[in-house]
Amino acid sequence: MHELHGGGGMPLVLLPAYPLDCRVWQAMAAQLPWGVRAIAVDLPGQGHSDIGGLAPSIDLAADAVYRSLTSYGIANAVVVGMSMGGYVALALADRHPGFVAGLGLVDTKSTADTDEARARRIATARELEMSQTLQAAMGMPGILLGQSSLEHRRDLLATLEGWVRGQSPLGLAWSQRAMARRGDKTGMLRHFIGPVSVVVGDQDEITPLSDAQHMADAAPDSTLTLVPGAGHLSALEDPYTVAAALNALHAQVVPHRR
């Protein structure tokens, strides 16, 4: 776990995207107002977190995050996930509903993979395992960023490529298999009683606006934020807009002093 922004009280817990780690949240966390605590957690197989003998499973990843946070003395939190982190956030709310007071879903979706997407994930996992290199993941940065970022923010592409090179091939293979096996969590969203903030880049081609709208329509208390000029990593591409949306979510749960 990484404390990205100091504060007291109920924290924002930030779960990163595949194939990255907590660093993808740093720019956004820096834009949060004074006093809003933000903690990023590397998912199993990412960054500084090992797999620890876990079978590939989004549900088991959620349980691991829950154990880590509660052992750290956190009784409840506003949980935010980007991409794969969103899958884990949804599973955390499903399996440990008393822990999740609010839910942020950034460039993600609540539905399961199609058969074609599942087959691609398994093929990528096998390539990562057999080659023991990161070659199968090195094309991801160019897919994750929106067209505006690719044209005008070439520094982001280089940064992402460096972050991917720091990952573990077996850890990323674990993540691909876990994502391939996940179920549909839309039903859980329909019964979630806390506030939900859905955020999506308007250039996100991986989980586009239709996926975001599907989640926003399912949750009883939801807001939808469209981030102009951003792709699948909107919190990195436009940290200001995403910080404003997540700060508003946090304020719904923990009223902020003015």
Domains of the chain: 2-112+184-253 (3.40.50.1820)
Q: Is the pLDDT of residue 258 over 70?
A: no
**pLDDT digit string (tens) for 91-148?**
999 999 999 999 999 999 999 999 999 999 999 999 999 999 999 999 999 999 999 9
What is the percent of the chain with per-residue pLDDT over 70, rounded to a whole number? 99
What pLDDT is attached to residue 46? Answer: 92
Alpha helices by DSSP H, the chain: 26-29, 58-71, 84-95, 115-131, 140-144, 147-152, 154-165, 169-181, 186-191, 209-218, 234-237, 239-253
pLDDT at residue number 257 = 57
> Do residues 20 and 48 touch, judged by C-beta distance below 8 A?
no
Chain centroid offset of residue 65 CA: 13
Task: Inform me whether the pLDDT recorded for 252 exceeds 90.
Answer: yes
Each residue of 11-50: pLDDT tens digit?
999 999 999 999 999 999 999 999 999 999 999 999 989 8
At 201, the pLDDT band (50, 70, 90 cuts) reads: very high
At residue 8, the pLDDT reads 85
pLDDT at residue 9, rounded to an integer: 87
